[in-house]
Chains A and B, each alone.
Chain A
């Protein structure tokens, strides 16, 4: 149950687009279309922003989108805004009702 691999940090300027990768294996990300993404601001509880690779919950901005290719899932944030500065975590199903998170990525809006 090794953690999924995410870059430790990414950055972008307001208005730009950034992509955060989430690398797994054929036993997790590559085997199931059950990847979720969570946003966590400092001192706050996580918030769901993407489920099932591409599904955006109601109330989540269209600027957030998810995708997957092979064993790697990705989160893209377009039109970066200052409020997007936060930590982002991916999470994948690994079978038998078990789940694994990525190590997290700190997004800095320059």
Chain B
């Protein structure tokens, strides 16, 4: 069974940093592009970042470029999102998702981890 478990969310002050994780199981993690998608409270989905299976390519939405870093540890089957210089606008539920065929077919999602940026 494909399983993605998001963790690491919490309360952080503006300007602070936080790293969220996504533990994957039930599939060959290194073969898949992985995504982070966020959802602010009561709002819609927003693509945040993604990373190729071997970690050689990554992309970011403009609003987080230079502040967030996506990475992966294929030996540990874990995806990460390092978030720096956080602002209140980054408050959201952060989901990881798997993309099997490189065509936006996000067929498995974590349960999400809540990041709250507030003073």
Contacts and interface: CB of A to CB of B under 8 A. Distances in A.
Nearest to A46: B109
Nearest to A101: B45
Contacts, number: 73
Interface stretch (B9-17, B20-28, B56-64, B74-82): B56-64
A99 B57 CA distance: 15
B29 interface: no
A88 B17 CA distance: 32
B37 to A, nearest CB: 8
Residue among A51, A52, A87, A102 with most chain B CB within 10 A: A51
Interface in B33-82: 33, 35, 37, 44-47, 50, 52, 57-59, 61-62
Nearest to B51: A97
Interface residues of B, number: 26
Where chain A touches its partner, the secondary structure class is strand
Contacts of A96: 59
A48 B106 contact: yes
Contacts of B105: 36, 48, 51-52, 55, 57
Contacts of A87: 44
Nearest to B106: A48
A103 B47 contact: no
Given A46-B106, A99-B104, A3 B44 contact: yes
B59 A98 contact: yes
A45 interface: yes
A96 B101 CA distance: 16
A34 interface: yes
Given A45-B95, A45-B112, A101 B50 contact: no
Interface of B: 33, 35, 37, 44-47, 50, 52, 57-59, 61-62, 95, 97, 101, 103-107, 109-112
